[in-house]
Structure 1
């Protein structure tokens, strides 16, 4: 009998591990959502109706032998998973791929695709009525969202506020930030850096309603709608007592070079839930998945030298609307609007349609 591999989480890392092991194991992918959500395109889906439905991709074509179980892990032990439904799943290998949460719309907070799509349509309608938009956070999310809004509604006033003195934390050269500032300035995005709000707006995030707030620098800001674009969190409270020692204060879990939890032979982790010191991106999650899938395959076949993972250098493709953006990679260097738009213009949708076996459906 083939060993059972339980993969907890159907995001970028989880689907990649599950797909890679489907031919050698009985894979069970545990995921509470009814479809895969292509979060890379979520910000565009909030402003462009052509993208609203595209980001929801069925899991039906992902696995040939394995299965996708719509459920949630509530307690995880080294060889068993207690499920929210009350069931219990035993496994020879476990992969933690539960990801992270970020404020909507960077990541969607509704599990059913129909409800999430309806919320995106409501957000787009609210943005269409708003003349002034306030975004809190000048990291990749806030700047990408600003670019997407201005691409659809160039006459809207979009203001981005961040207490940091410059754009996008990370080990990037000044030329990267200079190019990014130039493109944002060219699109009319207003940046207020080195300050924060004295208090948050009275209206809820994403809900229309005019307001005026004041930055600590003294500047008054009037807007019709606002969104938080910072503050991702990790939920690993599901770890049982045997695995809890690996959990850091921020919820991320320590992993060895083989991406195993320390002291565990058959429990691995990939993606945002790991404490690997690197930018948390879909690309990194998939690279983790390659290592973990290779290692589980090696163990299933009777052992051998396991693959190891080295934290990736900071790199990014940051769109500024569909026709702009800035790219930096230590090996490639700096790329401007045209090449960046060509790289990420389609937001890698075709790649994930193919991975999930959904090409024919589109």
Structure 2
């Protein structure tokens, strides 16, 4: 979402969040997704802990967190695949518990795991989906071609899906999710398992989708570079949302540069940074890492006062990795290793 401009201290309304009322005035649009106290418990494990958030119409909203953080459980509840333990939520204006059919008619979903029939052609897969969703026969041919051309697969419409690469299958699943013109498209880890080049291509198609379709996109990811594409992101950790804002605002909220050094003795460097400068540091990516305001101007002082030989030093502006570290106390990689344990506990709780 574009940042709102300010004129003489007054903030202009964001067009993406406003609609024109019957009387001609601007009114705030109803949220595409509204969540209040949403909770899911499996046995003794609270997978989602009473989360609250809203997604505006036309927004690209991202759920950023490690595996096991509660992203897929949340999206499964919003798509009516899992019944909440507590709380409420509406999607496209419909309640996810009492109006499940209406919710399902208004959403598209691209699962984390492939759900295409490999023995059918690409076109047959989409026509089967059109039948399930009641796409009118007088429009299905044009719509099918439109979505397949959008993901550059029209020339492969007669090929069996089993002959497709992983990236082609994911593109076809995105086309399938769009076929019935949903108001909200849910993408659960849309590029997981794909190589960086294919992931970039998938995002090219998603950005094209933003320009050509009147749609809200809700996606989950644990890739920091994907979260950068979103208008806003919610960082979720251990089933709780710890912060929500635009990527740029989140990075600005840290207010510190990241400095990484190599000295040959990591623990001695960590102690020296604490004793000499009052800075807390830790080893990340094989280097002693800490945050400091004005990193570049701090480097000469670092060399002069650390009391240890410094082999290398680098200074970088805050990234979403730094944001995640700031708000959760761990890197996303560390959180994922712990999340795998939580997934095992969740499986055991279901038995």
| TM-score, structure 2 normalization | 0.23
Higher helix content, 1 or 2? 2
| TM-score, structure 1 normalization | 0.23
Report which of the two structures shows the higher radius of gyration computed on alpha carbons: 2
Higher strand content, 1 or 2? 2
